[in-house]
A and B are shown apart, each in its own frame.
Chain A
Amino acid sequence: MMSELLVITIGAILVNNFVLSKFLGICPFLGVSKKLDTALGMSGAVIFVMTLASLVSSLINQFLLVPMQLQYLQTLVFIVVIASLVQLVEILLQKLSVKLYESLGIFLPLITTNCAVLGAVVLNAKAAPASVQSTWYGATIYGFCSALGFALALILFSSLREKLDLANVPEAFEGTAISLVTAGILAMAFMGFSGLV
């Protein structure tokens, strides 16, 4: 049980990193990685939403969809649930914790329909019935660790891009081109983790 959780943790953060080996969530990965500050804010928001979405969706899947044999509605239901969940959290945050709202506020709507969030939830639902990941706590841990992996990739990449801004880049590679090349090299570096679990 413990070892299985460890496998999920390491696997989600390093080996099957959402951005660098599953290629989910590339849009925020390229969009908000220009500055470390915004990358940190986005990472926080993703961790928050992904953990919560994993928990709620796996509960819905386990106690509503599976008993009613409505698994074929998974994608539809998950999208609706995640979207309204984020909306709810935003309203609550604004009232209850202004500080948290100000630091995460702009990013929350951005990741409502992000493929990384939906990806984590769908992967949880598709996990083998006997595995830890198919239980609600396993799914939550998987969602949290996947988000940590996303945050790791985003923070690494944004630090690289901040350095790149100061470097002498050949004109043809300036801007998005060099960012994509860097992302590719980073993904190759993460391939070194394969076989770890």
Chain B
Amino acid sequence: MDSLIAVVAVGILGAVLGVVIGVVAKAFAVEVDERIEQVEEMLPGANCGGCGFAGCADFAKGVVAGKAPPSQCPVCAPEDVSKISDYLGIAAEEKEKMVALVRCSGDIPNTVRSLYNGVRDCRSAVLVAGGAKGCDYGCLGFGSCAEACPFGAIEIRDGLAIVHKEICVGCENCVAVCPKNLIVMVPAASEVHVYCNSPEKGAVKRKVCQTACIACRKCVKASGEEDHMLVDGFLVRSNYENPPGPELVEAAACPTTALRVDSEHVKGAYGGEA
């Protein structure tokens, strides 16, 4: 008898609760624009925040509402963007892919450093007399940027942050995090960069770093009339409006190897002569 009561009681309870939930779910159903779901599915789903929205779901809402163009997603490949645009029936715009660049080549073998035993984080290290590196402008190498990267595109090797540009999607999370403002966005198509960011005089830089740009202008001369390189005080930069090709690195024979081809830099092909 007891067990019968138990079965009936729990059965009634279950049925009542089920009916209540069913009725409430119908009465309070929220209508969701199905296009938002579709667009969200077409987005990468990394929630990196590179678009300026709070994640992919929020961005999808913004795109459907017409507040943002699909191309605002820095991660989407152009074909993904055009797929979303086609789906929503709006015109796609072409956008050049940008990737992050750490403008420093001073790894441990090539730089002067003092001992630092504090918290292993660039933003903490920079509070202690600007970091333990001889050069005040260089990469501290504790990997705050690598941690900020949702895609794992930054590698710390020998105390230097190196961007793997085939993984980088250009979300700019690392740019904001670097306390030395070392990271800039450059067109993915450009291959040659000056891996130095110190505005100091050549001799001062050379004392603390073997691979600094000493502004000898060999690369400027090698590029001739072409204007591939721009001089900015004691620092030379690639002109990204008219980027130099890998042959310029060969022709310039940079004495400190600050001028590098990015694919070779990632492989660790430079800086051995010091």
Contact = CB atoms under 8 A, between A and B. Distances in A.
B115 interface: no
A84 B21 contact: yes
B1 interface: no
A84 B6 CA distance: 19
Nearest to B14: A80
Contacts of B121: 166
Interface in A83-134: 84, 87-88, 91-92, 94-96
Of A72, A73, A91, A96, the most chain B CB neighbours within 10 A belong to A91
A92 B119 contact: no
B65 interface: no
Contacts of A166: 119-121, 124
A167 B28 CA distance: 48
B54 to A, nearest CB: 9
A70 B9 contact: yes
How many residues of B sit at the interface, in one of the four size bands?
10 to 19
B17 interface: yes
Given A70-B5, A166-B119, A92 B24 contact: yes
B30 interface: yes
B25 interface: yes
A88 B119 contact: no
Nearest to B26: A91
Contacts of A91: 21, 24-25, 28
Given A84-B18, A88-B20, 20 more contacts: A70-B5, A70-B9, A73-B6, A77-B10, A77-B13, A80-B13, A80-B14, A80-B17, A81-B13, A84-B17, A84-B20, A84-B21, A87-B21, A88-B21, A88-B24, A92-B24, A95-B29, A166-B121, A166-B124, A167-B119
Interface of A: 68, 70, 72-73, 76-77, 80-81, 84, 87-88, 91-92, 94-96, 166-168
B53 to A, nearest CB: 14
Contacts of A77: 10, 13
A22 to B, nearest CB: 28
Contacts of A92: 24, 28
A168 B10 contact: no
A168 B124 CA distance: 14
A188 B14 CA distance: 42
Contacts of A88: 20-21, 24
Contact of A94 (B14, B17, B20, B30): B30
A130 B17 CA distance: 31
Nearest to A94: B30
19 contacts: A68-B5, A70-B5, A70-B9, A73-B6, A76-B10, A77-B13, A81-B13, A84-B17, A84-B18, A84-B21, A91-B21, A91-B24, A91-B28, A92-B24, A92-B28, A94-B28, A94-B30, A166-B124, A168-B120
A165 to B, nearest CB: 9
A139 to B, nearest CB: 19
Contacts of A81: 13, 17
Contacts of B17: 80-81, 84
B6 A70 contact: yes
